[in-house]
Structure 1
Amino acid sequence: MREVATSSDTRAGPKKADKDRRRWWGLVFISLAVAMVIVDVTIINIAVPAIVSDLRVGSTTTQWIQEAYTLTLAALLLSSGRLADLFGRRRLLLAGILVFVVGSVVAAVAAGGAMLVGARVIQGIGGAAILPTTLSIINATFRGRERATAFAVWGSTIGAVAALGPLLGGWLVGHFSWHWAFWINVFLGAIVTAGIVRWVGESRDAEGPRGVDVLGVGLSALAVAALVFGLIEGRGEGWFTALGGDGVLGSGLSPVPMAFGLSLGALLCFARWQRRRRRLRRSVVLDVSLFKIKTFAQGNLVVMVVALGQLGLLFVLPLWLQNVLGYSPLRAGAMITAVAIGAFVAAGVTPALAPRWGVPAVLRIGLVAEIAAFAVLAVSATPDASAWAIVPALTLYGFGVGTADAQLPSLILSDVPAAGSGQAAGTQGTAQEIGSAMGVAILGTLLFSMLSFHLDERLADAGVAADRRGPISEAVVGSAGTVIPAIPDLPVRRAAEEAFSAATRDAALAGGIVIILGLISTSVFRRRPVPGDAGDGVRSDDAGPASGDQPDPPR
């Protein structure tokens, strides 16, 4: 299938050096676009307490300020990737940045919770257009060992800014106000837009069927949104039986299993509808034959598993640092910047390693580093833990995240035709968002379940009467540990700190096991030489098995 390029850098005549300079400068601004979206996910966690105090919103609205963005982003990633293939990748990227900035402005001037939730939905729409499109542009622009380097920059950027977000958020909220957590996107958006217009060329699928599969877009969005909703709401609403209410229509049933059922039904309908449209040679949201590519199918599974472990840890760790070790939000954010340092080191190292050792080997190095970091945290998470134990573990973890995340896009897209890179990138983004939601749901549920278990044991050992243990446990678990520093009874507070630390160790151990499963699942990938980028006989490595079924060209 032919790819068409329409920017000035693809016309006949420009020198190769000028073309190379444009591509690499374009990569800088593509990575900044990703940074703008990712940092918004992490920065808001620090700003939420100030938002709650200023706007006087309730717990339900507070929850939706965070979740409206995640739900919208996850629901639209898949369809956005396909729209980029159809209408132009740079065009959709610029449109996504504009929508994201508009949402940020609405959020910054929000006078109430409802307005802020609506603004987060707008931001989610923009973010969904940005993330898969950046990957698709890289896949269509770079080849051979240059592609491995480009993906390393992209992946390391995500790992670094995810860790820097809490520090930046703490600084902005502490020195200015929570509004600046959103105003900063206006300045970033202007810089990124100017760079993309100047340095990034346009590309699209030139020969595939035109038109938009409206029903496919709706079914895919419904399937993903319902699944993510169920994962997010499970702990609060109850995984099966409703907690603290009559349930759906007074049945006592939680809405969560209904959401899972709706997601499954929509997914089955979506798959059937996509196969039917493909037989009729009409445009589809996702060419399901892409899953015949082993690197694509298995790679998305690895992405989901790895995201589950990674995001689960980043959910658990700040709670422990602030509620048990007594760190302020700014100091906790500063601690977590050790992850960014590790990711920056990975960004400098992995581009040279991937061509030499192969993408699968470098991916495994990253996963092993993450497992080692989880193991250290599973041992060292105590009420008296020293920063000298935590910071090296977080740095090692950041190196693993930066290394693994940099290789996964190359692994997944290595055998995907460039014409289908948008929908392939959208699929990867969807898998990552689902894995992230699963990580918070599973490790979060494990954390609070084990906190309740350990706290009851510690309180009993401290001689606290049984009729007092229940209310204390409910207060600690219900507040996610935030009441621990204010407990006046020193033995009770110490018991709570020990219980929260024990639960953190359990969550770290579980996260490490999940990453081990991800490491095992990479065993299907083999190093495979491909032609060098310049066609000069140099051999480099794209990830992938030695052989595998290829799909028909995406339509």
Structure 2
Amino acid sequence: MSRTPQDAAGRRWTGLAFIALAVAMIISSATITNVAIPEIIGDLGVSATGAQWIQESYTLVFAALLLTFGRLADRLGRRRLLLVGVAVFGGMSLLAAAATSGPMLVGARVLQGIGGAMIFPTTLSLLNSNFRGRERATAFAVWGATIGGVAALGPLIGGWLTTDLSWRWAFGLNIPIAVAVVAGVLAFVPESRETGTERGVDAAGAVLSTLGFALLVFGLVEGQTYGWWEPTEPFVVGGREWPLPLSPVPVAFIGAALALTAFALVERARSRSGRVVLLDLSLFAIPSFRNGNIAALIVSLGEFGVLFALPLWMQFVLGYSALETGVALLPLALGSFVASGFAARLATARGPAFVVRTGLALEVAGIAGLGLVVAADVHWAPPVPFLFLYGMGIGLATAQLTGVVLADVPVERSGQGSGTQSTVRQVGSALGIAILGTILFTGLGADLDRRLDGVPGMEGAAGERVVTAVQRSAGAAIAGLSGTPEVAEAAKESFTTGARYAMFGAAGVLAAGFLATLSLGSGRPAERDDPEAGGRPPAPATPATGA
């Protein structure tokens, strides 16, 4: 029996719900794990370095492989790679939930990162290939609201699971979600892939891009820990300590520059000779793709740096528990969901770029307002309206910026396009954590050093030890200062000062992102890609091979 257009539309939107659920699974896993880390340390007896690797191993692998898997999705089938990624992610979540040691958990997180890298760019390319015209704006709004909302809800869910059940549920929760996603995608999402007849594999491009982005993200994320130039902490891998008097971070940056330069040269040479490439550099000749990626890098820098700083300030200065921190961030999630309700209609009426700019303006207002009201003894109420504004901004800007970046990318290259923009966002978020984290901890250190000057017993080396302990513990050491109330209060005030600097810094970065979007025009797809705008529809993707 043939399906009516209404039936096909219903299947597309039902399929979108399961695609959004897949995105929610990998985003929530990252945010929930951040809240669960203290319990994991106590239960498994891992060191501070081990705890960092539990968090960062996932980020490194995830960011490094986005481009490679985005391209493979085009070649092998987007739905197929999404299903494989969900299966890998779900299976490794089970392994993580059953982990009996730190190394076992780190290994599971590495494999989770592989599954996540298969999922994230593939969800975007499926939206790009399955939706057209006004429907595409709505689909991207749902996708972006899912990211913004789940990122904000993650700490609440993680706090509840960790407090009332066990940290193992932070990973175990993914298993039923993965089963539901597989069933839903098989039933409602059609397969699509590029229609060209090119053969071959760009192995050199895959290796160079993976190495380059892994080293770049490592340097950005770990600079604060291991030192931007001189080593400040021992760097140990596999029982071997870093032997050089130079921090591994600048070495990683040099390696990343060499690998990514070589990657660009290899891609250009392969393209000129007509061979398959991992990334078609001609995509950057598309103004919306090129300028949109620049804007996405800047915006991600501002957004994710703040989401790193806020929970630390709430827990270590205000004394909130993990669950209370999640509740305090609920206005952010609520704002994101509210914005998603009208983002698509606004994009249809005024263009996606207008929605992005409106969202960024709200983000700047929200985060600057937070910078004005934060205090070591602030009541829970003053930050609420600014968190809500900030959440609305994320709900408007995140999804529609993605739509703008991919608007004019041919469907057959949507995996490359989505993999590129996903990688840019990950690099931007790592940059945000590095830059705004440095502002936070540098401001904290300078202010605390000033406040301790003249406090009895805190002269000279004693004061330096307190400053170092608070900085290196990201504020956790403040709880251990309760025996010296004057010092503890000084540490809270200084952490608040550092957080305020970071928030104003993020507002400045997001304002720069707003200026970067002025080059995007309306952000509407070209007419050839927008049948509802009166243009010629694009060539169809490969017909479904499954449901």
TM-score normalised over the length of structure 2: 0.93
Matched, 1:54 2:58: no
Per the TM alignment, residue 526 of structure 1 is displaced from its structure 2 partner at its CA by 1.1
Structure 1 match to 2:33 = 44
Structure 1 ranges of 4+ moved more than 3 A: 244-251, 461-465, 528-539
Matched, 1:485 2:479: yes
Structure 2 match to 1:196 = 185
TM-score normalised over the length of structure 1: 0.92
Alignment counterpart, residue 502 of structure 1, candidates 497, 514, 522: 497
Structure 2 match to 1:103 = 92
Per the TM alignment, residue 212 of structure 1 is displaced from its structure 2 partner at its CA by 2.1
Matched, 1:511 2:506: yes
Matched, 1:409 2:409: no
Structure 1 match to 2:227 = 238
C-alpha separation in 2, matches of 1:31 and 1:528: 23
Please give the secondary structure, in 1, of the residue aligned with 2:382. helix
Please give the secondary structure, in 2, of the residue aligned with 1:203. coil
Alignment counterpart, residue 423 of structure 1, candidates 416, 424, 428: 416
Per the TM alignment, residue 538 of structure 1 is displaced from its structure 2 partner at its CA by 6.9
Question: Would the aligned equivalents of 2:408 and 2:529 in 1 still touch at CA under 8 Å?
Answer: no
Per the TM alignment, residue 152 of structure 1 is displaced from its structure 2 partner at its CA by 0.5
Query: How do residues 210-225 of structure 1 correspond to structure 2 at under 5 angstroms?
Result: 210-225=199-214
Per the TM alignment, residue 301 of structure 1 is displaced from its structure 2 partner at its CA by 1.2
Which digits, 9 at most, give the CA deviation of each residue in 1:35-93, with x for residues without a partner? 00100110001111111111111111111000110000000000100000001000000
Structure 1 match to 2:289 = 296
C-alpha separation in 2, matches of 1:510 and 1:156: 24
C-alpha separation in 1, matches of 2:107 and 2:532: 53
Structure 1 match to 2:343 = 350
Per the TM alignment, residue 211 of structure 1 is displaced from its structure 2 partner at its CA by 2.9
Structure 2 match to 1:338 = 331
Structure 1 match to 2:543 = none
Question: Would the aligned equivalents of 2:470 and 2:491 in 1 still touch at CA under 8 Å?
Answer: yes
Cα RMSD of the aligned pairs, angstroms, is: 1.8
Per the TM alignment, residue 533 of structure 1 is displaced from its structure 2 partner at its CA by 8.9
Question: Would the aligned equivalents of 1:324 and 1:383 in 2 still touch at CA under 8 Å?
Answer: yes
Which digits, 9 at most, give the CA deviation of each residue in 1:181-205, with x for residues without a partner? 1111110001111110110000000
Per the TM alignment, residue 276 of structure 1 is displaced from its structure 2 partner at its CA by 1.3
Instruction: Tell me the percent identity.
Output: 48
Change (3 A) 1:52 1:418: same
Per the TM alignment, residue 290 of structure 1 is displaced from its structure 2 partner at its CA by 0.4
Please give the secondary structure, in 1, of the residue aligned with 2:173. helix
Which digits, 9 at most, give the CA deviation of each residue in 1:507-547, with x for residues without a partner? 001011110110111111112665599956679xxxxxxxx
Please give the secondary structure, in 1, of the residue aligned with 2:193. strand
Matched, 1:124 2:117: no
Alignment counterpart, residue 392 of structure 2, candidates 388, 394, 399: 399
Please give the secondary structure, in 2, of the residue aligned with 1:204. coil
Structure 2 match to 1:367 = 360
Which digits, 9 at most, give the CA deviation of each residue in 1:286-337, with x for residues without a partner? 0011011111111111111111111111111111111111111110111112
Question: Would the aligned equivalents of 2:133 and 2:531 in 1 still touch at CA under 8 Å?
Answer: no
Change (3 A) 1:86 1:532: closer
Query: Structure 2: any 5+ residue segments left out of the alignment?
Result: 536-547
Per the TM alignment, residue 465 of structure 1 is displaced from its structure 2 partner at its CA by 4.3
Structure 2 match to 1:159 = 148
Question: Would the aligned equivalents of 1:51 and 1:178 in 2 still touch at CA under 8 Å?
Answer: yes
Question: Would the aligned equivalents of 2:225 and 2:233 in 1 still touch at CA under 8 Å?
Answer: no
Change (3 A) 1:360 1:112: same
Structure 2 match to 1:444 = 437
Alignment counterpart, residue 446 of structure 2, candidates 453, 473, 478: 453
C-alpha separation in 1, matches of 2:449 and 2:125: 51
Change (3 A) 1:60 1:135: same
Structure 2 match to 1:548 = none
Which digits, 9 at most, give the CA deviation of each residue in 1:424-466, with x for residues without a partner? 0000110011011111111111111110100011222656642
Structure 2 match to 1:281 = 274
Query: Structure 1: any 5+ residue segments left out of the alignment?
Result: 1-11, 540-555
Question: Would the aligned equivalents of 1:246 and 1:252 in 2 still touch at CA under 8 Å?
Answer: no
